Amino acid sequence: DVKVTQSSRYLVKRTGEKVFLECVQDMDHENMFWYRQDPGLGLRLIYFSYDVKMKEKGDIPEGYSVSREKKERFSLILESASTNQTSMYLCASSQGWRYEQYFGPGTRLTVT
């Protein structure tokens, strides 16, 4: 079974803090994704990566950066957290674009 794990289920941070969300997959998948999910807006793509050190912006990259130094690990970084970044963050991985995506359990981030 594919397993995608995220470093925290719940996280509370203060405005201005630097926040790291980590995602690890164990199936040697090429593609990894970071989404945020908000009520009434659905899932929105923040960034994705199609190879080590390769990344592309999604629909809402502002305020975020990413890092993929190893194939199995994809990190989402909030350089200076703001209250409007309070959300559920979901990581996913896939063998390729034409294959199903496997999701992690999500991190519910609250910025106060």
Kindly indicate which of the ranges 15-23, 68-76, 78-86, 93-101 contains the residues binding other proteins, using the contact rule CB under 8 A.
93-101
* Cβ atoms of residues 46 and 36 within 8 Å: yes
| Residue among 11, 43, 52, 77 that touches other proteins (CB under 8 A) | 43
Residue 16 Cβ, how far from other proteins at the closest point, in Å?
Answer: 26
DSSP structure string for 29-86? -SEEEEEEEETTTEEEEEEEEEETTEEEE-S--TTEEEEEEETTEEEEEESS--GGG-
CA-to-CA separations, 96 to 58, 105, 110, in angstroms, rounded: 16, 20, 32
Q: Which is nearer to other proteins, 80 or 101 (CB)?
A: 101
User: By CB under 8 A, what part of segment 46-75 binds other proteins?
Assistant: 48, 50, 56-59
User: By CB under 8 A, what part of segment 14-33 binds other proteins?
Assistant: none
Q: SS3 of 13, please? A: strand
Name the residue among 30, 110, 20, 108 with its Cα closest to residue 64. Answer: 20
106 binds other proteins (CB under 8 A): yes
Q: Which is nearer to other proteins, 75 or 107 (CB)?
A: 107
- Which residues are near other proteins by CB under 8 A? 40-45, 48, 50, 56-59, 88, 90, 92, 97-106, 108
